[in-house]
Amino acid sequence: MKILVTGGTGYIGSHTVVELQQNGYEVIIIDNLSNSYLSVVDNIEKITGIKPVFEQIDLRDETKTNEFFKKNQNIAGIIHFAALKSVGESVEKPLDYYQNNILSLINILKGQIEFKINNFVFSSSCTVYGQPDELPVTESAPIKKALSPYGHTKQISEEIIKNTSSNANINGILLRYFNPIGAHESVHIGELPIGTPNNLVPFITQTAIGKREMLKIFGSDYNTPDGTAIRDYIHVTDLAKAHVVAIGRLINKKNREKTEVFNLGTGNGFSVLDVIKSFEKISGLNLNYKFVDRRSGDIERVWADTTFANKELGWIAEKNLDKMMLSAWKWEQALEQVKRNK
Ligand code: NAD
Ligand code: WQD
């Protein structure tokens, strides 16, 4: 059974391609390589023994996207990861974010309708909730005003998918990821942040390996037990596995609504200091860090209510924080080894 994975050479996409192949699916990747490398395709093959088909297409290009669908019939479902994802960059270049994330989605959905592909899984984000009033946050929590153009593209995308699927023969699953971290246990694939990382965990591992001088902890005066902000970190392989379940659910028509929404997290909240302590424990190192002002646009705390995903999908995130941090650290060390061998 053929699955199209857009953004499949990216961080979460590549881990999902591996899990799909290991579950017997045939995978075609579309990516424009704007934030990933072609070598990921070979690295996926190193893990699974199967080289996924790769098409370098910019999904903003309606003609090329349509030609792809004409050429590739019998696609059973689409998992749409392709998007720009940097919150800070989206504030500087909002139009690039709206153009890339919304246009790509529209072109994919047009292809779905024209070529009668019924099943669609979308990468959404916990960012759609903003700072929730109640924690853990459930899928029915109100969608608050977006804190960034990036977050807004996810809110708009969710609406576009709901509107489209209610009129067309498309069943959709919107997966709201919390904070994905870590890398594949083989260390053949992982996150490849280009330039200075914005996210906490790559910044921690890059500081520990000596690429960065010091981690700045954004805010020590939050209303949390240790004063630092709280998030729900989830291992990328656990996240990837949920996509295999989601696409299978759609293919086997187990979905209850035309568009279903699931939170993907562990259900546990950890503070920035918890994450650092876990890193220090698994690595045996002392991390160089200091406290600075809060980062603008950051929320104080969020973690998922995963009851719906656990019950309906029969899926549960398995890796705890220490395992996630060990995986992230092994990945950083593997990247350093590759650099030394060059
Ligand atoms: P990523 O940047 O590693 O992967 C996205 C991939 O999409 C990249 O390989 C990029 O080259 C490709 N792409 C972007 N625009 C494209 C276009 N116009 N045409 C074709 N390919 C294009 O990001 P990721 O972390 O793997 O995120 C995947 C998805 O998950 C994104 O939609 C992101 O918004 C969402 N998400 C990510 C996180 C996170 O923290 N990583 C959290 C919540 C949601
Ligand atoms: C985690 C915590 C920071 C870096 C972002 C997006 C969100 C989603 C996931 C896509 C926060 C603190 C960070 C640093 C720090 N992505 N931190 N020093 O902000 O929860 O979410 O990625 O949908 O939309 O906003 O993740 O990893 O950047 O930060 O103290 O150098 O670590 O303030 O409390 P965030 P993050």
What pLDDT is recorded for position 173? 98
Matching fold, domains 2-182+234-264 and 200-231+267-303+320-341: no
The total number of residues shown for the chain amounts to: 342
Ligand 1, pocket residues at CB < 6 Å: 7, 9-13, 30-36, 58-60, 81-85, 100, 104, 123, 125, 177, 179-180
User: Does 136 sit behind a cis peptide bond, omega within 30 degrees of 0 on the bond before it?
Assistant: yes
Domain residue ranges of the chain, discontinuous segments joined by +: 2-182+234-264, 200-231+267-303+320-341
Please state which of the ranges 52-66, 186-200, 251-265 shows the lowest mean pLDDT.
186-200
Residue closest by Cα to atom 9 of ligand 1: 10
CB neighbours (10 Å) of residue 194? Answer: 10
Q: 187-215: per-residue pLDDT in tens?
A: 999 998 788 999 999 999 999 999 999 99
Residue 150 is a catalytic residue: yes
Q: What is the tens place of the pLDDT at every residue in 125-155?
A: 999 999 999 999 999 999 999 999 999 999 9
pLDDT bucket at 338, cuts 50 / 70 / 90: confident
CATH of 2-182+234-264, one of 3.40.50.10160, 2.30.30.140, 3.40.1160.10, 3.40.50.720: 3.40.50.720
b/e sequence 171-191, b meaning 16+ C-beta within 10 Å: bbbbbbbbbbbbbbeebbbbb
Gyration radius from the chain CA atoms: 19
Task: Name the token pair of 278.
Answer: 């876990």
Pairwise CA distance, residues 28 & 211, whole Å:
35
Q: What is the pLDDT of residue 95?
A: 98
Examine the pLDDT at 7 and tell me if it is beyond 90: yes
SS3 (DSSP) at 136: coil
Question: How far, in Å, CA of 109 to CA of 61, rounded?
Answer: 13
* pTM, two decimal places: 0.98
CB of 12 within 6 A of ligand 2: the answer is no
Mean pLDDT of 228-237: 98
Collect all residues with Cβ–Cβ distance below 8 Å to 167 and sequence separation of at least 6: none
**What's the mean pLDDT in 236-255?**
98
Terminal CA-CA length for the chain: 39
pLDDT at 321: 98
**Angstrom distance (rounded) from CA 173 to CA 120:** 6
Where does the pLDDT of residue 342 fall: very low under 50, low under 70, confident under 90, or very high at 90 and above? confident
pLDDT at residue 298, as a whole number: 94
Q: What pLDDT, on the 0 to 100 scale, is given for residue 339?
A: 83
Burial tier of 23 (Cβ tally within 10 Å: 0-12, 13-18, 19+)? middle
Going by the DSSP 8-state scheme, the letter that residue 310 receives in this structure is I
Mean pLDDT for the stretch of residues 234-258: 98
Contact (Cβ atoms closer than 8 angstroms) between residue 168 and residue 106: no
CATH topology of domain 200-231+267-303+320-341: UDP-galactose 4-epimerase; domain 1 (3.90.25)
